[in-house]
């Protein structure tokens, strides 16, 4: 069965320090990985997906199939990065509806950036 593990419930770093939020997954097929972010009192929003290979708000994430990881990194944390971060796994289009399958989420990491 597919699973997403975010080992850190809470991560606190100082402003300007590097940040790494860990995400490991288990899935036998070809996964699609996402990072979603939820800022205080806002809805969950997509931060980045592995296939786009973009850098959003200074964050990057590389899919490592050998280690089954998709860690989120930022070299210099900013106070506005404080939020809940969720790693999610998608399986593509294995259903009959033409849309993507439902996502499997990790439990989330609460990132706090201290001034």
Partner 1 sequence: NAGVMQNPRHLVRRRGQEARLRCSPMKGHSHVYWYRQLPEEGLKFMVYLQKENIIDESGMPKERFSAEFPKEGPSILRIQQVVRGDSAAYFCASSEDSNIQYFGAGTRLSVL
Decide: 67 and 22 in contact? Cβ < 8 Å.
no
Contacting range for partner 1; rule: CB under 8 A; set: 10-18, 55-63, 67-75, 87-95: 87-95
Report 92-111 residues binding partner 1 (CB under 8 A): 92-93, 95-108
29/98 with CB nearer partner 1: 98
Q: According to CB under 8 A, which one of 28, 29, 30, 43 is a site residue for partner 1?
A: 43
CA distance 48 to 114: 24
Kindly state whether residue 11 participates in binding partner 1, applying the rule CB under 8 A: no
Any idea how long the chain is? 115
CB of 111 to partner 1, least distance (A): 15
- What residues pair up with 43 in beta bridges, in sequence order? none
Decide: 115 and 15 in contact? Cβ < 8 Å.
yes
Task: Give the residue carrying structure tokens 């997906």.
Answer: 49
13/44 with CB nearer partner 1: 44
Kindly state whether residue 31 participates in binding partner 1, applying the rule CB under 8 A: no
CB of 2 to partner 1, least distance (A): 10
Residues lying near partner 1 in the complex (CB under 8 A): 4, 6, 32, 36, 43-46, 49, 86, 90, 92-93, 95-108
């Amino acid at each position: 069965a597919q699973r997403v593990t975010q080992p850190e419930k809470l991560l606190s770093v100082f402003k300007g320090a590097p940040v790494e939020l860990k995400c490991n997954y288990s899935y036998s097929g070809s996964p699609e990985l996402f990072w979603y972010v939820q800022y205080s009192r806002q809805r969950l929003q997509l931060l980045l997906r592995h296939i786009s290979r973009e850098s959003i708000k200074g964050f990057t994430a590389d899919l490592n199939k050998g280690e089954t990881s998709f860690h989120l990194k930022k070299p210099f944390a900013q106070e506005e990065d404080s939020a809940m971060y969720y790693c999610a796994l998608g399986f593509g289009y294995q259903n009959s509806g033409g849309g993507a399958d439902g996502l499997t989420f990790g439990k989330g990491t609460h990132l706090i950036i201290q001034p």
